[in-house]
Chains A and B, each alone.
Chain A
Amino acid sequence: MLASGILGCSAETLKSIVKGGTGAVVTKSVGIKPREGYANPTIVQTNCGLINAMGLPNPGIDEFVKEIREAKTALNVPLIVSVYGFAAEEYAKVTKKAINAGADAVELNVSCPHVKETGSEIGQNPKILTEVVEKVKAVIDKPVFVKLSPNVTSIAEIADAAVKAGADAITAINTVKAMAIDTETTMPILSNKIGGLSGSAIKPIAVRCVYEICEQVKVPIIGCGGVTNWRDAVEFLLAGASAVQIGTAVALKGPNVFKAVNQGIDAYLKRKGFGSVDEIVGLSHRN
């Protein structure tokens, strides 16, 4: 499925992603109020991935419900709305509006590494995280995914707290806190100085996180971080993910990356004599 933050701000762009073969889409994170995000530079292209600090730009849920409604009618795949907030009540309010507008599920962004008082500041604290998940679960019946940050001491413990609070699935991982400095001007490049690294560089970290979470919790895990080809996706499945998300690779390979990955997984299953994806989910734990 499409990872959050990639072209997920309008129904029409999501439509072109779905044409590329994704099985589900996650929107860009939306909050209770409109937010402009940071000044440029908001992205740094490095030789091992992208560092971004967009600053959660979004039109606010009251405006975004229009896109949700339009996307819901236009798309033939599940629509997951990514939600962020500065307090548990905000997460709950935005979630309720998103679900009422037609979202099939929400993914709580408790892992954005570059905006203060939301994101990873919530996802790094099991107590606050529990409150957020419980408040959200109390207002809706649809599935709640919780997207976790790798910037913690024990991601398994955090996942455990989320699941005990009612999370229906865990998405792992969000970007890894990172920075780039220009040597000529001696200045940090991003206007926010610190951002989150995505792409191939973080895949081994993400695979380890999924593996550890899988040992700890029983709910489905959605692997995310540096998936570029079918082999990356299979690696996540073997680590314990039931599905994977792709983000950065959409820029490298275009929306058809989803088709290519799906075909590659099918060919792998066939070649190895597996009947379905289910048979390889978490398989590496047995070895």
Chain B
Amino acid sequence: MKLSAYRIATNQLRTTRILSVKTESPTVKTFTFKDKVCARAKPGQFLMLWIPGVDEIPLSVLDANEDGAVSVAVKKVGEATQALQNKKVGEIIGLRGPFGNSFTLKRGRILMVGGGTGIAPLLFLTKKLASKAPRLVFVIGAKTKEELLFIDKLEEVRSKGNLVATTEDGSYGVKCLATTPLESLLAKERFDMIYTCGPEQMMRKVLDLTEKHEIALEASLERLMRCAIGLCGSCVVGKYRVCRDGPVFTASQLKEVKSEFGILKRNFDGRKILLE
């Protein structure tokens, strides 16, 4: 608890300049900047990025290096992300964080299931795990080939045989949802841990499968965030605050919030609404 008090008192908004911008897909750009505090982020943690005069949004850390460079992947989903994507190298942004817990670094046979920009924290996790895991299988999915992110980077980490790519329109890899290959994969191979991040309905399906096959699971959730320090209640899922108790949750925690996980979220006025 002392640590959290320290973290909050010392985690004030600071500004930094954008060092580089890379276009990853028609809707996703990666931004890199220097920040000593966020450079200590662990896989799964998020930061709050201030777009001055526009908004402040939660973003999962894509990469954090000892030299202080931090990257985030930003998908165009609304006004704030559009404004951020318009920013050029050298422009100022604000940062708070890193916040939340992180994925545990499990040694063993690992399966990663990532959808859309959900691949970002898994890629970061893979970098930390690659040397420890005797086996690492990646299942990734997106709507189209163009939106299948970081596929080049994943192939760097592991040989192609361990990577299953899916697209909804069949423009790359197998034409199906990311969850489709899991059933047969889990039937023929035993994994010690599944890490997942992506659309919540996808993660809900993964949870149901892990229950059936009795495999440990950690899933990273996304919710509307305001304070990011566990006070305002904007991001609650059942009894859990995604910003403080999460964003990474275990299968047993997710089972406790089954009436909401993969089904509902809270909107700006706090009412529960169905996930899109």
- On A, residues with C-beta under 8 Å from B are 5-10, 12-13, 15-16, 28, 34-37, 39-47, 50, 52, 54, 57-60, 63, 182, 184-185, 187, 189, 191, 247-248, 250-254, 256
Contact = CB atoms under 8 A, between A and B. Distances in A.
17 contacts: A7-B231, A9-B233, A12-B236, A16-B239, A28-B270, A34-B270, A34-B271, A35-B269, A40-B56, A40-B225, A44-B13, A45-B11, A45-B12, A54-B232, A57-B270, A59-B269, A254-B4
B227 A43 contact: yes
Nearest to A183: B15
Nearest to A36: B268
Nearest to A250: B231
Interface string B219-249: 0000001111111111010110100000000
A15 B239 contact: yes
A6 B231 contact: yes
A182 B15 contact: yes
B239 A57 contact: no
Interface of B is mostly: loop
Interface in B52-68: 52-57
Given A10-B236, A47-B9, A39 B270 contact: no
A44 B11 CA distance: 10
Nearest to A190: B56
Interface residues of B, number: 39
Nearest to B52: A185
Interface in B91-113: 92, 94, 96
Nearest to A49: B9
Given A59-B269, A253-B1, A41 B233 contact: no
A252 B50 CA distance: 22
B55 A254 contact: no
B8 interface: yes
B187 interface: no
B46 to A, nearest CB: 14
A58 B11 contact: no
Given A7-B231, A41-B50, A59-B270, A251 B8 contact: yes
A184 B15 contact: yes
Given A13-B233, A248-B231, A250-B230, 13 more contacts: A10-B233, A10-B236, A13-B239, A37-B269, A41-B50, A45-B8, A58-B270, A59-B271, A189-B94, A247-B231, A250-B231, A251-B227, A251-B231
A60 B269 contact: yes
B84 to A, nearest CB: 13
B274 interface: no
A261 to B, nearest CB: 14
A44 B14 CA distance: 11
10 tightest A-B CB contacts, nearest first:
A40-B56, A36-B268, A34-B269, A184-B15, A41-B56, A12-B239, A59-B271, A7-B233, A252-B5, A185-B52
A47 B12 contact: yes
Contacts of B226: 37, 40, 42-43, 54
A59 B56 CA distance: 22
Contacts of B11: 45
A7 B239 contact: no
A5 B94 CA distance: 25
A28 B93 CA distance: 31
B52 A182 contact: yes
Nearest to B268: A36
Contacts of B4: 252-254
Contact of B57 (A35, A40, A60, A256): A40
A44 B8 CA distance: 11
A47 B13 CA distance: 11
Given A37-B269, A42-B227, A187 B8 contact: no
A52 B5 CA distance: 18
Which of the listed residues B1, B48, B92, B269 has the most CB atoms from chain A within 10 Å of its own CB?
B269
B269 A7 contact: no
Nearest to A253: B1
Contacts of A34: 269-271
A15 B232 CA distance: 15
Contacts of B236: 7, 9-10, 12-13
B55 A251 contact: no
A285 B209 CA distance: 66
Contacts of A187: 52-53
Contact of A45 (B229, B230, B239): B229
B8 A252 contact: yes
